[in-house]
Amino acid sequence: MAILLFLLAGLISSTCQKTKNATQCVSVLDAADPDTKDLAANERDLAGIALNSPSTRLDATLHACGGAYFDAANTLRIDALDSMNESDFLGASTRLVESCKGAGELCDGSFPASGLGPAPEVMAAVDRNMTQRCAVLLDLLGLLFVPPHPPAA
């Protein structure tokens, strides 16, 4: 059994060294079902295992990011828009900041927390786009916000 595990580790290592992200490759294959993984004899078997891997840290992290941005988009479309339509520009601004900041922080923090290193450029680009969109919206809402005047003495 020990020899089989040693050979499998060698197959995974040598195969993953041929990929663009060896660390992620090993992570995906290490997350696979051990019984299935033990049957791997070649690169084709490893590719099949990676395709059938039920959940990896990357999958979970991307799912968390997707959920955060989905929630942020809904907050922008529904809650912030409702506040703006009710002339509650401060409320709209608050929801906007919380939504944008929360999505970006959650997503950016998810990659290192999962041991995957910094967020990939594609996710960083999504975060930049969301941050820029929110900044423009905040500026526009700021033009509409007129602070209440204190009562006359």
Which pLDDT value is given to residue 6?
42
Structure confidence at residue 7 as a pLDDT band (50, 70, 90): very low
> Which ranges in the chain belong to alpha helices (H)?
2-16, 22-30, 34-37, 43-52, 57-74, 81-85, 89-113, 121-144
Which pLDDT value is given to residue 79?
80
Structure confidence at residue 28 as a pLDDT band (50, 70, 90): confident
Q: What is the pLDDT of residues 87-116, one digit of tens each?
A: 888 887 887 777 877 888 888 888 888 877
Q: Is the pTM of this model over 0.75?
A: no
* Sequence ranges of the domains in the chain: 2-52, 57-144
Closest by CA position to 69, among listed 121, 120, 111, 107: 107
Question: Which residues touch 52 (CB under 8 Å, ≥6 apart)?
Answer: 32, 36
Structure confidence at residue 20 as a pLDDT band (50, 70, 90): very high
Region 59-72 average pLDDT: 86
Q: What is the pLDDT of residues 134-152, one digit of tens each?
A: 888 888 888 887 666 666 6
Percent of the chain with pLDDT over 70: 86
